[in-house]
Structure 1
Amino acid sequence: MTGTLGGRFVVLDGPDGCGKSTQMRLLAQWLGEQGVSTASFRDPGTTAIGEKIREILLSPAHDAMTTPTEVLLYMAARAQLWAEEIAPALQRGRCVLLDRWLSSTCAYQGHAGQFGIEKVIAIANDALDRVWPDLTIVLDVDLATAAGRLNRALDRMEQKGDSYHRKVREGFLKLAEGRPDFVVVDSSLDVDAVHEQVVAAVGRLGSSPSQKAWDRQDR
């Protein structure tokens, strides 16, 4: 089941409070137990440049930032992360696990921010060597459950309000519709139940042909 996961690119994404960090940690642990070499990163971030961009993006002090600025900063951090970390890890045959990717910008800035999902993807096609991963797992969660999990000071994006975050959830679900490289998981369930669904989705990827035809398609 996991024999062909080397060199695959898997993203866990979803609204704030969906449990991405927990599920990515559990998935990395499970893959390691199966003998799959993994590399885990976060977007934006991981690289020195990406972490500085992340600080700018998420600081509540930058509440004047426009949606187009957000799009371009997220894409810049992503391009750097690809060049420094993701591409080399894939070339070494590791299974790359990523906390957020292009799907986030489509849902947050593209749909909720009304920039346009198609415009986000067009910029990605120009800026990124690899647009879509082999698999995107959307951890879907309702606002009430998500809010209950955010028991810390909220960053600038998290502070945007219920209406915005309701549209973010809509954006993720809209993006996943009809796409074989997306799986939607109900992350309002307990941690173990969500993990089982994530493992099942990744296991199916491990037994399927490469989906690299999706890499630069304008979806």
Structure 2
Amino acid sequence: MIEPDFLRTTRTAYDSMAALYAESFANGLEDHPLDRAMLIAFADLVRANGGGPVADLGCGPGHVTGLLHSFGLDASGVDLSPEMIAIARAAHPELRFEVGSMTALDLADDSLGGVLARYSIIHTPPEQLPRVFAEFHRVLAPGGHLLLAFQAHDDPSELAESFDHKVALAYHWSPDRVADLLSKTGFTETARLRQTAPPEAERQFPQAHLLFSKV
């Protein structure tokens, strides 16, 4: 199968700045209490459903994967960038990290209790998003939980709007349209959080967190 151009472009871009990216996010989520709250709720729900394995898809340098592990989850990470995975393995040798793509996950059907995709769908072209969500649904066990986070926009007539991300072409998404697409894929909404951008933020995009479960 021929690899889509956007995967090659995104991999190359993140490989080239993996060390800088890891340094920039070295403090994790200490200054993001609402982000942490959604991750804690996600972890609680996964444990309540039997505590199956959790995959952090688009894990980057692995700081959030490590946080999920600290919450008592059997967490592992997948990322498109081999350089990011090398950094994650060095930082968290006790955890599993693999190179892979959200469009074709090397995971068995119904094998996960949870999927986290935190700001990792933003480089996915809109026409590829149904394929990605179908993969999330395939690998989650019945009753498993999905937590998405992404930059958002408020026009429900448009699924995605592109913006000039520092690393590679990216999209911010309509939470309503993304939620509708997840519902059509077979997920049920549990909760959502919309955060406005703080005044000091370089880009004034709101942030969305969507929590869904597999029917």
Classify the TM-score, shorter chain.
0.3 to 0.5
Judging by fraction of residues, say which structure has more helix.
1
In terms of fraction of residues, the more strand-rich structure is 2
| TM-score (normalizing by structure 1) | 0.36
